[in-house]
Amino acid sequence: MSESKADQPDETARPRRRQARGERRIQQLLDAAASVFCRAGYTSASTNAIAREAGVSPGTLYQFFPNKEAIAVELGERLNRRMLETHGVVFTVENATLPLRELLDAVLDPMIEFNCANPAFLTLLQSSDAPGHFLEEHAALHDSIQDRINELIGVRNPDLSPERRAHTANMAFALFKAGLGLILGHEGAEREAYVAELKTALYGYLAPVLGTEGVPARP
């Protein structure tokens, strides 16, 4: 109870001014983490391996991240932010009113492209083995995407009950992740084939709920 000086040890402790070198190291470490997570999964990935891959010592890694979990959280947040910044535009009202086939192209193609370039994202999204608090951030990451899908379905078909809409969004996202796994597991022509299969599957699933035709713009 003798900590009444100036700084609490809990959150918002101290902003720790980073130098340009530090920011560079952080990026190196996150890139290395993405590679190692992707290769071994979250649990099997070791912080020493991440540091080695980044070309720094274990001590240096812990200059920038308080623990292993924070690395995964930060990586997930950055990837999620980057995906929404770069391709988040796809969840627009204009796209929602397109014919279903075009809507799927407009949404899926950028998503797939991003995930092919950043396979660690899917790894984090479906890392079911994970200790305690990482699961919360994991869920947050999940919901962040889920909400976009939910919203798009709501715009497309406002008559759907909230429960049904949630189920549909949840299932659609699960189907997407499943297809994405197949896509990332193949290359070249095989990959393209699975992209087509995924679109077929989502079309077949969503057509009865969302309709295949474009919906007219609201007055």
Catalog residues that contact a copy of itself under the rule CB under 8 A: 40-44, 123, 126, 128-129, 131, 163, 167-168, 170-171, 174-175, 177-179, 181-182, 193-194, 197-198, 200-201, 203-208
Which CB sits closer to DNA, 30 or 149?
A: 30
* Least separation in angstroms between CB 55 and DNA: 7
* Least separation in angstroms between CB 75 and DNA: 14
Site residues for DNA, 191-210, by CB under 7 A, read none
Q: Is 45 a residue that touches DNA (CB under 7 A)?
A: yes
Tokens 């396979």 found at: 119
CB-side neighbour CA atoms (13 Å) of 51: 15
Neighbours of 59 (CB within 10 A): 8
Distance CA 144, CA 125 (A): 11
Residue 204 burial (C-beta neighbours within 10 Å; 0-12, 13-18, 19+) = exposed
Binding DNA by CB under 7 A: which of 1, 2, 7, 21?
Answer: 21
Which CB sits closer to a copy of itself, 114 or 205?
A: 205
* Least separation in angstroms between CB 62 and DNA: 4
Q: Out of DNA, a copy of itself, none, which partner does residue 89 contact, by CB within 5 to 8 A per kind?
A: none
Length of the chain: 219
Neighbours of 5 (CB within 10 A): 6
On whether the CB atoms of residues 162 and 139 are closer than 8 A, the answer is no
Q: Out of DNA, a copy of itself, none, which partner does residue 68 contact, by CB within 5 to 8 A per kind?
A: DNA
Q: Is 27 a residue that touches DNA (CB under 7 A)?
A: no
Neighbours of 159 (CB within 10 A): 7
**197, 149, 154, 157: which is closest to 174 by C-alpha?**
149
Q: Out of a copy of itself, DNA, none, which partner does residue 62 contact, by CB within 5 to 8 A per kind?
A: DNA
* Least separation in angstroms between CB 120 and DNA: 16
Distance CA 34, CA 108 (A): 22
Of 48-56, 110-118, 177-185, 186-194: span binding DNA (CB under 7 A): 48-56
Binding DNA by CB under 7 A: which of 35, 39, 41, 62?
Answer: 62
Q: Is 22 a residue that touches DNA (CB under 7 A)?
A: yes
Tokens 């699975």 found at: 194
